[in-house]
């Protein structure tokens, strides 16, 4: 195990099978063990992408609006957080790899729920299921320069009921994750004016987070806290956007690992692979000054395994 001041870089590889065209905003990687495939999104391109690791087959689906986060139900249907709400999406039409497709398969979705957005130009951002299969996702004003704290965190239960805002006052919601036993919930605000990660005591029976406290203040470290993953040891991995790094914090909030990645804006990470021992990292391509690696997908072997990604408990 390396110290926080000794970044590890030797285990990072760019996943060439993910394609030569970089994503504008690569987000929400999700490993689907039933398919041995990694899914992720490109938000402004309105795409969901799938890569079957063993065969290298890659498929794309085009949605009618921006898609920022995804989860699966037990039947393989997608729960997608988009611009205007949460949608149920079926991707079964794309059975052929992208190499044999003329273009991405166009799909639409059935709207499940939507909050009342307090401002225009808002959308969902980071989202995933808790250990019990409730789907959580937050909203944000798309113009980050406005630094508008109109964002909020919502919960969708298995019956399709969307909660009122559970956490409000967020500028750029991110960093959702749960401890292995589900009793701790993590949440971040990645806006440059915030750079905070919080922990909550989480009631696994009711889905209510309580006792919010600062878990890690990234103003004292590097980057902005974007998307996250929790490993089998209960440690919290956060993408340090603008710093080209992954940071791992122990359950006590101590930084014990830093791994540099070739992209300056890593966006979200997820454990996958047959043994859940690979940490996949999506990234964002800056509007100016981008390198050859920015916007691509990376794979890291950090020497620790992850946990299976929970599925949505309801039927979509």
- Residue 103: the pLDDT is 79
- Residue 102: the pLDDT is 58
Is there a catalytic annotation at residue 231?
no
Gap between the Cα atoms of 55 and 53, Å rounded: 6
Domain 23-227 has CATH 2.120.10.30: yes
- Residue 9: the pLDDT is 44
Could you give phi then psi for residue 120, rounded to 5 degrees?
-75, 170
Q: 188-225 in b/e burial notation, b at 16+ Cβ within 10 A?
A: bbbbeebbbbbbbebeeeebebeeeeebbebeebbbbb
Residue 72 and residue 79 in contact, taking contact as beta carbons nearer than 8 Å: yes
How do the domains of the chain map onto residue ranges?
23-227
160: region left, alpha or beta (phi > 0 left; psi from -120 to 50 alpha): left
pLDDT per residue rounded down to tens, the chain (316 residues): 344 444 444 579 999 999 999 999 999 999 999 999 999 999 999 999 999 999 999 999 999 999 999 999 999 999 999 999 999 999 975 555 554 455 789 999 999 999 999 999 999 999 999 999 999 999 999 999 999 999 999 999 999 999 999 999 999 999 999 999 999 999 999 999 999 999 999 999 999 999 999 999 999 999 999 999 999 999 999 999 999 999 999 999 999 999 999 999 999 999 999 999 999 999 999 999 999 999 999 999 999 999 999 999 999 9
Radius of gyration, CA atoms only, the chain: 18
- Residue 8: the pLDDT is 43
On whether 174 is known to bind a ligand per the annotation, the reply is: yes
Could you give phi then psi for residue 99, rounded to 5 degrees?
-60, -25
* Options 226, 231, 275, 294, the catalytic residue: 226
On whether 103 is known to bind a ligand per the annotation, the reply is: no
On whether 35 is known to bind a ligand per the annotation, the reply is: no
On whether 211 is known to bind a ligand per the annotation, the reply is: no
On whether 277 is known to bind a ligand per the annotation, the reply is: no
On whether 123 is known to bind a ligand per the annotation, the reply is: yes
- Residue 104: the pLDDT is 87
Provide the whole-model pTM.
0.94
């Amino acid at each position: 195990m390396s110290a926080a001041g000794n970044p590890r870089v030797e285990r990072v590889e760019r996943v060439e099978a993910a394609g030569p065209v970089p994503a504008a905003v690569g987000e929400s990687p999700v490993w689907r063990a039933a398919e041995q495939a990694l899914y992720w999104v490109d938000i402004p391109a309105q795409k969901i992408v799938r890569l079957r690791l063993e065969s290298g087959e890659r498929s794309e689906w085009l949605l009618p609006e921006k898609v920022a986060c995804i989860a699966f139900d037990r039947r393989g249907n997608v729960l997608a957080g988009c611009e205007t709400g949460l949608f149920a999406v079926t991707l079964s039409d794309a059975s052929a790899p992208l190499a044999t497709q003329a273009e991405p398969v166009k799909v639409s979705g059935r709207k499940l729920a939507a909050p009342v957005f307090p401002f225009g130009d808002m959308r969902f951002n980071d989202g995933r299921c808790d250990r019990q299969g409730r789907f959580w996702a937050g909203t944000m004003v798309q113009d980050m320069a406005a630094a508008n704290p109109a964002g909020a965190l919502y919960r969708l239960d298995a019956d399709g009921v969307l909660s009122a805002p559970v956490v409000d006052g967020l500028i750029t919601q991110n960093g959702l994750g749960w401890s292995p036993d589900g009793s701790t919930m993590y949440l971040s605000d990645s806006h440059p004016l915030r750079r905070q990660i919080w922990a909550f005591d989480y009631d696994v029976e009711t889905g209510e987070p309580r006792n919010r406290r600062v878990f890690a203040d990234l103003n004292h470290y590097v980057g902005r806290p974007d998307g996250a993953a929790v490993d089998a040891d209960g440690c919290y991995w956060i993408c340090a956007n603008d710093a080209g790094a992954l940071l791992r914090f122990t359950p006590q909030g101590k930084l014990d690992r830093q791994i540099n990645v070739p992209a300056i804006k890593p966006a979200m990470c997820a454990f996958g692979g047959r043994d859940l021992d690979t940490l996949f990292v999506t990234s964002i391509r800056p509007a100016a000054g981008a390198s050859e690696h920015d916007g691509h997908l990376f794979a890291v072997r950090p020497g620790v395994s992850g946990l299976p990604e929970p599925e949505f408990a309801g039927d979509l």
